[in-house]
Amino acid sequence: MFLSNTLRDKRIPLAYGAGAIPAIGFGTLIRDPGAAKQAIKTALEVGFRHLDSAELYGTEDIAGHAMREAFEAGTVRRKEMFVTTKLWNNNHRPERVGPALEASLHRLQLDYVDCYLIHTPFAFPPGDEQHPKDEHDQVIYDTGVTLVETWRAMESLVDEGGCRTIGLSDIRLDKLKEIVAVARIKPAVVQVESHPYLPEWELLDFCHEQGIVLQAFAPLGHGMEPRVTEDPVITAIARRVHKTPAQVALAWAVQRGTALLTTSTNPDRIRENFDISPLPDDALREMHDNIATTVRFNAVVETGVPGFVPPPREASTSPDDRPPSPRQGGGSPSPHRGANSDL
């Protein structure tokens, strides 16, 4: 059967709220504003119809401007786009949730977003400080609000029409289950780090059972070492199917039923990342059975603090070895180990 293009055009219907999410999305976490502008423009030209942003990234206005230009030029219509943005940790108090979305909509120049995510399950004190630290350089958390209280405020936003769906990001399975158990409007999307070195099968199984879309960020491992695109299993498959290793990793992500967000500032790679086609079953099986490396590259799930952190060179790091954090279910947050300021 000829299946080419079925992956890049795939949209996954959302079970809670309204709409369908394009399986392939473009992330706007790009530090340099000029590069972000060019990359988002190229992504829209190439055919990406799913943009992921966040209050924290500082790129909502750039994405908004790029979309506005495309709408006005008539090359893209609003209803073809799927736009996600995220509530940052200092806005978890219920009375701050609506104004935070309003401010994001203003920057994005939109009337609504397709999906609004709680960026992390960790609350920071209400105020303007996005990265609160005490005199010992330790993160300050807000114990005056629970994740369920924040979730209730998110549900109201769906009722009011500011977002079509809501979801969670950087969350572990146990915490997700707590929200699903009490939600009036269930999470439509859960955005977490996931790639061949961090497949998150258990979380994915739960999401599939519940009709939740798991959206993989860093599907290429953020380009960090050990490089997913240099994995011997993946490179061998790439040679066999005449695709690049990146295209193999992205196809794998879509074929196992996740949505994904990739990012590049390189126009050729932006095109490459959209041009994916299905892998044969034996390739999927090989990736499942033969890739043994396990790495979590981003520490945010532990602390709510941004940061891709290079793993120790000598060994891959099992995510299960890492300690839980207070709002993820007990224990102390691990220190912020020299992470860069990406999120």
Ligand X SMILES: NC(=O)c1ccc[n+]([C@@H]2O[C@H](COP(=O)([O-])OP(=O)(O)OC[C@H]3O[C@@H](n4cnc5c(N)ncnc54)[C@H](OP(=O)(O)O)[C@@H]3O)[C@@H](O)[C@H]2O)c1
State the residues that interact with ligand X by CB under 6 A. Answer: 27-29, 52, 169-170, 191, 217-223, 229, 246, 261-266, 269, 272-273, 298, 300, 343
Query: Nearer to ligand X by C-beta: 63 or 153?
Result: 63
Least distance (Å) between residue 142 CB and ligand X = 18
CB 206 within 8 A of CB 173: yes
Strands (E), the chain: 11-13, 20-22, 24-27, 50-52, 82-87, 113-118, 163-169, 189-193, 213-217, 259-262
Amino acid symbol at 115: C
Query: Nearer to ligand X by C-beta: 98 or 223?
Result: 223
Strand partners, 89: none
Least distance (Å) between residue 173 CB and ligand X = 16
Query: Nearer to ligand X by C-beta: 265 or 294?
Result: 265
Least distance (Å) between residue 123 CB and ligand X = 15
Structure tokens belonging to residue 29? 């976490």
Task: Give the DSSP letter string of 44-110.
Answer: HHHT--EEE--GGGT-HHHHHHHHHHHHHHTSS-GGG-EEEEEE-GGG-SHHHHHHHHHHHHHHHT-
Query: Nearer to ligand X by C-beta: 74 or 338?
Result: 338
Least distance (Å) between residue 74 CB and ligand X = 27
Query: Nearer to ligand X by C-beta: 66 or 220?
Result: 220
CA 96/CA 127 separation, integer angstroms: 9
57 is catalytic: yes
The active-site residue out of 57, 116, 141, 197 is 57
Least distance (Å) between residue 218 CB and ligand X = 3
Using alpha carbons, list the distances in angstroms from residue 227 to 224, 232, 285, 286, 318: 5, 10, 20, 18, 16
Q: Which residues are catalytic?
A: 57
